[in-house]
Amino acid sequence: MSHDDSDQRLVARVQKGDRRAFDALVLKYQTRIAALVSRFVRDQDEVMDVTQEAFIKAYRAIDSFRGDAQFYTWLYRIAANTAKNFLVSKSRRPPDTDLWVGEGEPGDGSVELESIEEPEGLHARDELLLALNQGLEALPEDLRTALVLREFDGLSYEEIAEVMECPVGTVRSRIFRARDALEKIIEGNRDG
């Protein structure tokens, strides 16, 4: 049984009134959703509140889940919107970048920078991080979102298309353009 199959079965049980099935979905995804929310909301207490609110919204809307998208993609969209709405309600802007450095497993698409203890190495790493953050910040939101979902969250092109509500070809184009622009920005920072 794949993750999608087990999620679909749990959702079907929730839709029939089984609250324990929803608890299983919460346990399965709470860490990933909290990590997503923490990209928008910095205060850990607020992260937990917004994460809980996202799950409450998902529970209330579970009857509208038809299975056209994967459950996680649907939940991801709810959580991202909940976090953005939270910031708007607090009159705060969403962060300029969604970058998490040093998280994840090497080779899983996350950024992994080694910490070199020598001052020159630390300085070079800090300069690269600054250039990367500035590069991501400079990208238009649609390009940045597509790139972050692919490179840092590890979503497939199809999942990104569902989250961004656009064709897969558009996702591929945005990621290509984002990588190209980011490379030019970082190279410009090194030369300048």
pLDDT score recorded for residue 68: 79
Dihedrals φ, ψ of 124, to 5°?
-65, -40
CA distance 189 to 79: 34
Domain boundary among 67, 89, 111: 89
How far is the CA of 180 from the CAs of 3, 64, 112, 173, in angstroms?
Answer: 33, 38, 20, 11
| Residue whose pair of structure tokens reads 């961004």 in the numeric block | 164
| Residue whose pair of structure tokens reads 């459950």 in the numeric block | 71
Are residues 79 and 129 located together in one domain of the fold? no
Domain boundary among 72, 89, 106: 89
Are residues 67 and 7 located together in one domain of the fold? yes
Q: What is the CATH number of the domain that holds 56?
A: 1.10.1740.10
Task: Quote the tokens at residue 122.
Answer: 């630390």
Are residues 12 and 77 located together in one domain of the fold? yes
What is the residue range of 125's domain? Answer: 119-191
Q: pTM score, two decimals?
A: 0.55
Tell me, yes or no, whether 110 lies in a domain.
no
Q: What's the pLDDT tens digit per position in 37-94?
A: 888 888 888 999 999 999 999 999 999 998 877 898 899 889 988 988 888 888 755 5
Tell me, yes or no, whether 111 lies in a domain.
no
Q: What's the pLDDT tens digit per position in 136-173?
A: 778 888 888 888 888 877 788 888 888 888 999 999 99
User: Based on the structure, what is the number of domains in the chain?
Assistant: 2
Are residues 84 and 128 located together in one domain of the fold? no
Q: What's the pLDDT tens digit per position in 104-133?
A: 443 444 444 444 345 665 666 667 767 777
Domain boundary among 51, 70, 89: 89
Dihedrals φ, ψ of 121, to 5°?
-65, -40
pLDDT score recorded for residue 114: 40
Q: Residue 3's pLDDT band (boundaries 50, 70, 90)?
A: low
Q: What is the CATH number of the domain that holds 183?
A: 1.10.10.10
Q: Residue 192's pLDDT band (boundaries 50, 70, 90)?
A: low
Tell me, yes or no, whether 107 lies in a domain.
no
For the CA atoms of 83, 84, 89, 91, what is the dihedral angle to 10 degrees? 120
Q: Measured in whole angstroms, how far is the alpha carbon of residue 53 from the centre of its chain?
A: 17
pLDDT score recorded for residue 119: 61
pLDDT score recorded for residue 115: 40
CA distance 182 to 42: 25
Are residues 12 and 82 located together in one domain of the fold? yes
Tell me, yes or no, whether 143 lies in a domain.
yes
Q: Residue 185's pLDDT band (boundaries 50, 70, 90)?
A: confident
